[in-house]
Amino acid sequence: MPFGMIQDFAESGVMPHTAELISQGTFRIMRSSVPEISSVAWSSVITGKNPGQHGIFGFTDLFPGSYKMRFPNFDDLKAPPFWDQWEGQSVIINVPSTYPVSQMNGVLISGFVSIEFEKSVHPKSLVPYLKRLDYRLDVDSQKAHSSMELFLEDLDKTLNARIQAYRYLWDSSNWQTFMLVFTATDRLMHFLWNAYEDAGHKYHNIFLEHFGKIDRTIGEVAGKISDEDLLIIHSDHGFERLDHDVYINYLLMQEGFLQLKDTQNIALDNIDHRTKAFALDPARIYLNQKGMYPCGTVDQAEGREILNQLEKLFSSLRINGRRVIRDIYRKEQLYTGPYIENAPDIVLVGAEGFNLRANIKAEKLSDKGIFDGKHTQDTAFLITRGLSNTAIVPDIPAISDIRAIVEKNRALS
């Protein structure tokens, strides 16, 4: 959820409980991770580290020494989550990229991408209860492709079961830290951003009501805690209207940076030795380095030259006269730590309305798919309340600061 939307809903009465918390606490715009996607953002929240330290750079990665795609999961997280380092029990519900769950002090129900239910719940003894609740690990987004009605029904059932699960665990365990994540909002904004902007849209009221229900849950939580407690509410990235999907690997192919052995097999593992660079989702650019990849030929000196050429290409890219790429980051600007060698060489952040994707199979530079909404890097939000409202928060916090904000303010209590 973006800063502007929560401000809007607080003022218009869609989220009155949140409005009250904003008036009592500290409300800030926050920077998300780069790239601004859930796996990277939440890994940064729970570890307090940047991707160079926690090792999660995206939803996808490559097996070492190959172009073969893999999907990093919780086992790949290289820095400990806070619940393994803080005292007392924690209840952690629906944090993305915490699958498969592992032994911990308390309760952990993983968020997307979770595959098998049994491996998504710690302790296992909770599985029968959650199944009785019809608890869903994620919304079935496939439904939106065939029926928006069925998708919205699924979205609501997912939210309801999540709320039921939180209520039960709030009362039934002796916790010190409680973390509850709502992720159906992301699905809703991807498919129906227009329903937010357009008050005459068929699903406008359903859209608002989803946030209204979350707001009532926030009010319920706020009513249960004491002044001694620290309450933090935040998003993992912002959102805005999507005008164009833009395919970075298509661009790299058109410009000769990415070449395949034959055109029959459009896939990363068919990369030819003439390839200088390729992209992984959403817009992570990797040099085809000698010694690192099977067909890698780019050495250090050439790499510097290619990075300069790519920067020129990306900064001059226009669609309908509009600049497509807002920010071009070299890895050294974004990441520090022992895993920086696995980092992309360049990460791009799209300009307003431009949704960047790698998509090697794209047949044109840009089009507009089913999504109406896209993530944003710089409009996440953070609300804190507690300790007589004197929580110490940086002016523009980064998402990896959240853990330190909690630790600092806990130490004050």
- Taking CB under 5 A as the binding criterion, the range among 47-55, 183-191, 212-220, 383-391 that sits at the site for Zn ion is 183-191
Using CB under 5 A as the binding criterion, the count of chain residues that bind Zn ion stands at: 1
What is the rounded CA–CA span in Å between residue 366 and residue 387? 49
CB-nearer residue toward Zn ion: 252 or 349: 349
Which residues have C-beta within 8 Å of that of residue 285, sequence separation ≥ 6? Answer: 248, 252, 277, 278, 279, 310, 344, 345, 346, 347, 348
CB-nearer residue toward Zn ion: 61 or 240: 240
CB-nearer residue toward Zn ion: 186 or 215: 186
Shortest Å distance, C-beta 189 to Zn ion: 7
Alpha-carbon 59 to chain mean position? 9
What is the rounded CA–CA span in Å between residue 128 and residue 197? 41
- Taking CB under 5 A as the binding criterion, the range among 179-187, 288-296, 386-394, 403-411 that sits at the site for Zn ion is 179-187
372 binds Zn ion (CB under 5 A): no
- Taking CB under 5 A as the binding criterion, the range among 9-17, 89-97, 178-186, 283-291 that sits at the site for Zn ion is 178-186
186 binds Zn ion (CB under 5 A): yes
Shortest Å distance, C-beta 236 to Zn ion: 9
DSSP 341: G
Q: Transcribe 231-264 into DSSP letters.
A: EEEE-SSEEEE--EEEEHHHHHHHTTSS-BS-TT
- Taking CB under 5 A as the binding criterion, the range among 65-73, 110-118, 184-192, 210-218 that sits at the site for Zn ion is 184-192
CB-nearer residue toward Zn ion: 186 or 243: 186
Shortest Å distance, C-beta 145 to Zn ion: 16
Shortest Å distance, C-beta 186 to Zn ion: 4
Distances (CA, A) of 50 to 54, 81, 194, 399: 6, 13, 33, 9
154 binds Zn ion (CB under 5 A): no
* Residue whose entry in the numeric block shows the structure tokens 């909002």: 185
Backbone torsion region of residue 134, taken as left when φ is above 0, otherwise alpha when ψ lies between -120 and 50, otherwise beta: left
What is the rounded CA–CA span in Å between residue 18 and residue 384? 11
What is the rounded CA–CA span in Å between residue 320 and residue 25? 43
Which residues have C-beta within 8 Å of that of residue 183, sequence separation ≥ 6? Answer: 38, 94, 96, 111, 112, 138, 139
Residue of closest CB approach to Zn ion: 186
Shortest Å distance, C-beta 267 to Zn ion: 25
CB-nearer residue toward Zn ion: 61 or 186: 186
CB-nearer residue toward Zn ion: 43 or 288: 43
Shortest Å distance, C-beta 404 to Zn ion: 25
- Taking CB under 5 A as the binding criterion, the range among 122-130, 181-189, 199-207, 382-390 that sits at the site for Zn ion is 181-189
Q: Is 50 exposed, middle or buried (0-12, 13-18, 19+ CB in 10 A)?
A: buried
Binding site for Zn ion (CB under 5 A): 186
